[in-house]
């Protein structure tokens, strides 16, 4: 986590919102008015612009937004941020997340405190952090049939109609294991609090350089989660007689045939999040995982 006061270069600010979210219209207009009042050029993502009636705001598709924006403010929830982060990663556009509902892991600014916290950020009172992504490539023979980025996780799993899958896993060219299970989650530190956590994986601080492998309902109880170096190349092959599927952040999905190979490595791209000064990952964990409930109970017992 780093702190900086160099925000004067955030002159062109993009607004990207969750389409159809309750109450988003008022929030977007309030945000646009604030940004214009502090002298920023405001551009709106084209689908987001459909939520607005203000014709004075300029809209562009997401690809053009990536080229023009110095900063993007994403209004919605963590699911909205997941999709946007992957698409903006290669353009190195920093992101700020405003949450319309409960506090999110990535959209950490509550709507009710949006303007004062953004005022602090644009005055230079901010913290920044970088988050890693995974890149997955699927080979059928020697042909690449699919590739995508994942901000949370890449999940290789059985199909709905099938039983277990058998996966052969290699790390940096070394055979690690054959695993029979419902699937395997390969997670970034950011994604360690998502599907990987529900499958029994560990929580990794976002600043750690690691990749988590978490089996889903393994046939052998000795197949346990493992944290690998972020520099590793992981190859997963679907064994003979099995078919499966693969998804990236639960948003991009394709089928796997027997002998297909999935090559996973850390992406060369990273996401930069901007937070208000004083933001803490541990505060977010306490809120989302309800760690804060126990001290209050103990306090009542004293």
At 83 the three-state DSSP class reads: helix
225 and 285 assigned to the same domain:
no
Q: What is the mean pLDDT of the chain?
A: 90
Are the C-beta atoms of 82 and 271 separated by less than 8 Å?
no
CATH number at residue 204: 2.60.200.30
Q: What is the pLDDT of residues 191-248, one digit of tens each?
A: 999 999 999 999 999 999 999 999 999 998 889 999 999 999 999 999 888 889 999 9
pLDDT over 50 at 6, yes or no: no
Q: For residues 183 and 287, what is the distance between their CA atoms, to the nearest angstrom?
A: 30
Mean pLDDT of 271-279: 93
Closest CA to 7 of 282, 277, 238: 277
Percentage of the chain surpassing pLDDT 70? 92
Residue 268 has pLDDT above 60, yes or no: yes
Confidence of residue 5 (pLDDT cuts 50, 70, 90): very low
The verdict on 262 and 157 lying in the same domain is yes
- 226-229 and 126-140: which strand pairing? unpaired
Could you read off the pLDDT of 94-125 as tens digits, one per residue?
Answer: 999 999 877 678 888 999 999 999 999 999 99
Residue 21: the pLDDT is: 76
For the residues 77-96, what does the mean pLDDT come to? 92
* 147 and 249 within one domain: yes
- Residues with a catalytic annotation lie at 78
Residue 179's domain comprises 133-268
Predicted pLDDT of residue 202: 97
**Number of independent structural domains in the chain:** 2
Does residue 161 share a domain with residue 42? no
Count of CB atoms within 10 A of residue 223's CB? 20
């Amino acid at each position: 986590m780093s702190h900086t006061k160099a925000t004067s270069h955030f002159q062109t600010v993009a607004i990207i919102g969750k389409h159809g979210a309750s109450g988003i219209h008022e929030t977007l207009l309030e945000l646009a008015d604030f940004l214009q009042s502090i002298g920023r050029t405001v551009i709106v993502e084209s689908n987001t612009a459909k939520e607005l009636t203000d014709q004075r705001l300029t809209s562009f598709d997401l690809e053009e937004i990536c080229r023009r924006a110095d900063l993007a403010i994403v209004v919605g929830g963590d699911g909205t941020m997941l999709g946007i982060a992957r698409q903006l990663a290669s353009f190195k556009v920093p992101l700020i997340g405003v949450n319309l509902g409960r506090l999110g892991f990535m959209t950490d600014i509550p709507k009710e405190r949006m303007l004062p916290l953004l005022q602090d950020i644009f005055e230079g009172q901010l913290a920044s952090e970088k988050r890693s992504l995974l890149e997955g490539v699927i080979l059928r023979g020697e042909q690449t049939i699919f590739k995508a980025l994942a901000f949370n996780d890449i999940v290789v799993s059985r199909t709905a109609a099938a039983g277990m899958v058998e996966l052969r896993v290699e790390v940096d060219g070394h055979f690690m294991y054959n695993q029979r299970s419902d699937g395997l989650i390969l997670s970034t530190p950011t994604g360690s609090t998502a599907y990987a956590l529900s499958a029994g994986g560990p929580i990794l601080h976002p600043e750690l350089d690691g990749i988590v492998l978490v089996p889903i309902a393994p046939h052998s109880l000795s197949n346990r989660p493992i944290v690998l170096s972020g520099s590793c190349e992981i190859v997963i092959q679907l064994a003979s007689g099995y078919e499966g599927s693969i998804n990236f952040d639960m948003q991009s999905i394709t089928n796997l045939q027997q002998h297909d190979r999935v090559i996973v490595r850390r992406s060369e791209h990273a996401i930069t999040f901007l937070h208000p000064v004083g933001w803490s990952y541990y505060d977010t964990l306490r809120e989302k995982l309800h760690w804060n409930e126990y001290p209050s109970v103990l306090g009542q017992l004293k």
